[in-house]
Structure 1
């Protein structure tokens, strides 16, 4: 893991996520004690739900408004990606935002959490809502700049609703860097068009360290409402 502003010799990897279940102790015959415990548990659950909602990306009021909402890992910072307006010199920037049939609309930056890389969200037009997730991934990879060395596709379910999706783990070779690196992408269909999550990283080591945020996004993703 790469951190910033500190010597690597004194860094401590501090990625820990613990979910503690509420312990139910031995119950006495007192109804008041039982209701008090339930009230406390409800309060804790309410605070957890509020904290989770505050971290969600994709809904109205979040930095990126998307066809889906999801929760990124703690400390990762989302930011909308906007194209350079027509008529202004973009130096090829706008072209980089397009890949296959999707466009880059949101980046969740890992640097505040100590890694170099992004969880990127790409979306396609509503007219492509019927495209299969695998087709979306294949068209995306066909436009990859670096050499595609290896791919492994699998069909999965994501989110509480078990939305059908396809995931691909692939390896790229960079002629400039003269090295290979692993990447992962997940695509799903929505009524508003396809959505594709892509997790990169400076190298394979960074990618592996950042995988938990992609797994969290897959676990918490759901279709947006009111768009």
Structure 2
């Protein structure tokens, strides 16, 4: 099945769903649209078309991170359980980066995740390049620097081939280098259509990211 003839969202492959469940720690899923547990409530504001309802990365939030950023309403964050476990390295490591947090879009009505990775103290561009090189079958790679937000951001867009469903799909990520380390925030998605529908939440994170 190719892009443009995707299956309905309710028929997502079990392997895709299981991959997300394997990476995350146990937790309670709130009703769609409810603030994520542990997040700091903020005044709602439109940014890139997404409504901000919580802040991730700060004190008391679901994931301890070197940065903080706003989360779109309904997106559910969970810390990744045992990301350094060598038995899970195939899922939790990509190039120089280790995944620390998953933000599930399903409560907001999408099939996909924002995943937050950390990558030592190398420059943002170097970390992002290593991250993309480690992505199998990545093509059409394009980097750019943006000035949005409180810190300089390096962003990448690229295409990968989904072997499971046999179609190409868009991916993107941004990286920031802060004193506590380099952080990569990646947006995937079930397919390109799903990915594009989730872009407002990604843009909200990118434009509000700041060091902790």
Fold-level match, TM-score > 0.5? yes
Provide, for residues 90-113 of structure 1, a one-character-per-residue CA deviation record: whole Å limited to 9, x for no partner: 7x4233211111110001000000
Decide whether aligned partners of structure 1 residues 217 and 3 sit closer, same or farther in structure 2, where only a CA change above 3 A counts. same
Q: 2:141 aligns with which of 131, 146, 151?
A: 151
Contact 1:169/1:182, CA 8 A, preserved across alignment? yes
Alignment match, 2:178: 190
Q: 1:132 aligns with which of 117, 123, 131?
A: 123
Let me know the Cα RMSD of the aligned residues.
2.6
The answer to whether 1:97 aligns with 2:98 is no
Alignment match, 2:156: 168
Alignment match, 2:81: 82
Question: Which consecutive unaligned segments of at least 5 residues does structure 1 have?
Answer: 6-14, 16-45
From the two aligned structures, give the one with the greater helix fraction: 1
Using structure 1 for the length normalisation, give the TM-score: 0.69
Decide whether aligned partners of structure 1 residues 170 and 62 sit closer, same or farther in structure 2, where only a CA change above 3 A counts. same
Taking the aligned partners of 2:211 and 2:52, their CA distance within structure 1 comes to: 14
Instruction: After TM superposition, give the deviation of residue 47 of structure 1 in Å.
Output: 7.2
From the two aligned structures, give the one with the greater strand fraction: 2
Contact 1:63/1:78, CA 8 A, preserved across alignment? yes
The 5 A counterparts of 1:16-95 are 48=43, 55-83=54-82, 92-95=87-90
Number of aligned pairs? 172
Contact 2:53/2:73, CA 8 A, preserved across alignment? no
Taking the aligned partners of 2:102 and 2:54, their CA distance within structure 1 comes to: 14
Q: Which has the larger radius of gyration?
A: 1
Decide whether aligned partners of structure 1 residues 63 and 149 sit closer, same or farther in structure 2, where only a CA change above 3 A counts. same
Alignment match, 2:211: 223
The 5 A counterparts of 1:4-19 are none
Contact 1:166/1:188, CA 8 A, preserved across alignment? yes
Question: Which consecutive unaligned segments of at least 5 residues does structure 2 have?
Answer: 1-5, 12-32, 34-40, 45-50
Provide, for residues 159-182 of structure 1, a one-character-per-residue CA deviation record: whole Å limited to 9, x for no partner: 2x2x11110000011334321000
Contact 2:42/2:52, CA 8 A, preserved across alignment? no
Using structure 2 for the length normalisation, give the TM-score: 0.73
